Structure 1
Amino acid sequence: MDSGAPDDAAARVALDGATEGSTPPSRGQLSLSAVEAAIGVAFVLALATAFTVVPPDPGTGAADLDAYATDVATVLGNEGGAVLGDEAGAMFGDEAGTEDDGDGNATGAPLPAAIATPETFAAEREAIDARTDALVPDRLRYHVRTPHGDVGTEPPSGATVGRAALHTRNGRVVVAVWR
């Protein structure tokens, strides 16, 4: 008698593709170790990319360099060319500070007074160089041009340079800062 309804065995074959007593067909499953390895490789590559793609160094664009040069020119024009007062002498074991004691040492005069004559510039050259070096960040270089001489290193051709001009009663001073 055929009722038209499939028996249980026929239904099982139709549903999972296996007959009673046979093994079910293999399913493609990815090994957990392979998944972990793939995630690990992706993580290592992401870290390597993060360390190799470095953002540009901040503070070395033309506008930033101009700001550094302007700051240096302003400070040099308004304060002494050397470390100020008796604190400088105490730092170097000299009781007299930066005052000139007749042996040609720098007086720490502000830049306008330091460039009054070739003689005052010669006496103040090292103090101006030391003060400018202290003002400019270590990753940058500088050059100060005065009517009586220069301090620092000339910028190389092709370098991005920030410049600032300071007009004093004793002449024009140009400060250049570059990387």
Structure 2
Amino acid sequence: MRQVAAQVNDGKRRVDAIQKIWLWQKSVHGFRGPDLVESNHRMLINGELHCRALWRAQMQWAKSVHAYLFDQTIVLCRRDVLRRHQLVFKERMALHGVTVQEMHDGKEPSTGASLRNAFKVSSQARDYVFSCPDPATKGLWLEALRERPRPQPPTPAERRLAMLM
């Protein structure tokens, strides 16, 4: 009986997490690309970080962003200038095949930018260097990136339930 109750509770938690992703995505202005619930089943961590986007060791842009780490995707947003409470979609990056590298404080070799509490997420298309406000936050992000759960995309039934609730 306990095993059945545990399975029901796990299923409910999973549907609730998928629903949170779906509602969050709907609240982001200008969201582009496939729905997050197609490949993600929960949000792992989020927060405001300073981000530098690099392409072939050339800095493309650098600014503060709100980063949202899901189990298979990282989404970057910025605050709307006029409506501070609303998020505006900036970019997304699939985490399949990315490398995560802890950066030491000091100058970055490729751009010469000074780094504090930073880590780098690299893919074939682009690199992102994220700077955290403190070492504890950096540790949380690195742990979340390195200990991501294996892919478990939501089933069609779970997606349907999440959108009905």
What's the TM-score once normalised by structure 2's chain length? 0.22
What's the TM-score once normalised by structure 1's chain length? 0.21
Greater fraction strand: 2
Greater fraction helix: 1
